[in-house]
Structure 1
Amino acid sequence: MKETMEQWFAELEKSEAEAVKMTEKQSKILQAAIEVFAEKGFAAASTNEIAQRAGVAEGTIFRHYKTKKDLLLSIVAPVMTKLIAPFVLRDFNKVLDVDYDRYELFLRAVIANRIEFLRNHMNVFKILIQEIPFHPELQEQFRKNILSKVLERMNLIVDKFKSRGQLMEIPNLTVIRLTMSAIIGYVITRAYNENREDAGWDDEFEREETISFIIRGLSIK
């Protein structure tokens, strides 16, 4: 996570869209906010704990951000817009740019890609999952900067496999929803169970069943 954060901050420094350069204290507050929001969620997080973890006085936070909600929206939301979205899309484009012969091969590549992404970005993922449902501002940022771009690329891929006779003639959005729901369910469950000895998790079995489930449901009979 440390390496990833350093990459994000380096890109933020270079961003032409960023009118005001981050101070060292703001960078520390940002890192601490992401960690605390990921660990405890927005509701349970306190600005005092964020300040302690950042090594600054709590008053320093309130000199920049009037409330805890303002901290979330003024720091985390821009980070998602300028940094997380490019990282998500750049990483995912490694899969989307390849011309796979079969939908099954595409699914395998997506799963492997998302597992690696989640392994490296778990803190940020937790914030997105925990906070987006409760903050309309973050929902709009997510739709505009991530979801719309992914759907645009996925539409082209679904059209390609339909033209090859590999997928049912149902709406593209339905194909994407069913595909991604199954994949996300598998990847998230895997992330929480792969290192637990008592989970009884058979990763190869679960992955193959997930792929088979999608193919059986969407293939032309």
Structure 2
Amino acid sequence: MSDIEPWLAELLRLNDEEEKMTDKQIKIVQAAVEIFSEKGFAGSSTSEIAQKAGVAEGTIFRHYKTKKKLLLSIVAPIMAKLVAPFAVKDFTKVLEADYPDVEQFLRAVLRNRFEFARKHVHVLKIFLHEIPFHAELREQFKDTVAPLVLEKAYKAIRHFQAQGQLIELPPPAIMRMVATSMIGFVIFRFLLLAENDWDDELELERTIQFILHGLTPRQ
């Protein structure tokens, strides 16, 4: 089990004993994540997942019944046991820490999300590929992740607005604009142009400066 991906090792560690996966299930899940992230759910087949996992195709159906159930069995526990706790624990620390100014706050948030994306890039690909097309995943995201993050983010935004460091727009609007820039950077960095020669520190800083100042030259 030493060659499994870090995200799967963490998921297995978090599993309760009654939910413990067999060696074959571990191989199936890891193979499915790699293929789903590369080809998407619609472009993948259970036969190639079985071949990559080194198991019979019937073994997949014995454990998961359908390809859709296999997808949900991957995303659901990862959402509940990895993404949600990460948002509660690590992201809460970032959102609730005391920063001298909004620039330091934004830099901490972006670095936190950047490192999460780096660690879980295969799973991130599946989320981005499949959430728009599966209502179950959208509902789970809204129920599991969004409530844990949004109110804390709004609280931080209101704090910096009260200090005169952010303009007076509704916090959800500011959150949407900030998230769009940060998520856009992550998508280009790890998914669309991952093969480029990136200077991560420079691009992190450029993203922060764009959020703070836009495209207008400073006076």
Asked whether the equivalents of residues 11 and 82 of structure 2 are also in contact (C-alpha less than 8 Å), the reply is yes
Q: TM-score, normalised on structure 2? A: 0.85
**How far off is 1:187 after superposition?**
2.7
Paired residues of 1:111 and 1:187 also in contact (CA < 8 A): no
Query: What percentage of aligned pairs have identical amino acids?
Result: 53
Q: Which residue of 2 aligns with 1:114?
A: 113
8 Å CA contact retained: 2:28, 2:53: yes
Q: How far apart are 1:131 and its partner, in Å? A: 0.4
Residue 125 of structure 1 and its aligned partner are, at CA, apart by 0.4
Q: Deviations over 1:164-198 (max 9, x none)?
A: 1211221110010011111111232233546524x
Partner of 2:207: 210
Q: Residue 30 of structure 1 contacts residue 76 of structure 1 at CA under 8 Å; is this kept in 2?
A: no
Report how many aligned residue pairs link the two structures. 210
Give the direction of change, closer, same or farther, for the CA distance of 1:48–1:195 in structure 2 (3 Å limit): closer
Deviation at 1:213, TM superposition (A): 2.7
- Residue by residue over 1:95-120, the C-alpha shift from the partner in whole angstroms, topping out at 9 and shown as x without a partner, is 22311121111111112222211111
* Other-structure match for 2:51: 52
Q: How does 1:160-175 map to 2 (within 5 A)?
A: 160-175=159-174
Gaps of 5+ in 2: 215-219
Paired residues of 2:37 and 2:125 also in contact (CA < 8 A): yes
Q: Is the 8 A contact 1:13 1:21 kept in 2?
A: yes
Change (3 A) 1:212 1:84: closer
CA distance in 2, matches of 1:27, 1:86: 21
**Residue 44 of structure 1 aligns to which amino acid in structure 2?**
G
Deviation string 1:186-220 (CA, Å, 9 cap, x unpaired) is 232233546524xxx66555444432332236xxx
1:76 aligns to 2:75 (yes or no): yes
Where does the alignment leave 5 or more consecutive residues of structure 1 unmatched?
none
Q: Give the structure 2 partner of residue 10 of structure 1.
A: 13
Q: Using a 3 Å threshold, how does the CA distance of structure 1 residues 155 and 99 change in structure 2: closer, same or farther?
A: same
Alignment RMSD, CA only? 2.2
Task: Describe the shift of the 1:216–1:140 C-alpha distance in structure 2 as closer, same or farther (beyond 3 A).
Answer: same
Query: Do the aligned residues in 1 keep the contact of 2:12 with 2:20 (CA within 8 Å)?
Result: no
Question: How far 1:80 moved relative to its partner?
Answer: 1.8
* TM norm structure 1: 0.84
- For 1:161, the aligned partner's letter is F
Taking the aligned partners of 1:12 and 1:181, their CA distance within structure 2 comes to: 33
Q: Taking structure 1 as reference, are residues 79 and 3 closer, same or farther at Cα in structure 2, changes over 3 Å only? A: closer
- Alpha-carbon separation, structure 1, partners of 2:114 and 2:83: 16
Farther-moved stretch of structure 1 (38-47 vs 70-79): 70-79
Cα deviations across residues 29-48 of structure 1 (Å, max 9, x unaligned)? Answer: 22221121111110111111
Residue aligning to 2:84:
85
CA distance in 2, matches of 1:114, 1:153: 15
| Counterpart-to-counterpart distance in 2, 1:88 and 1:50 | 30
Distance 2:168 2:105 in 1: 18
Distance in 2 between the 1:119 and 1:194 partners? Answer: 11
**Contact 1:34-1:76 within 8 A present in 2 as well:** no
- The residue aligned with 1:156 is 155
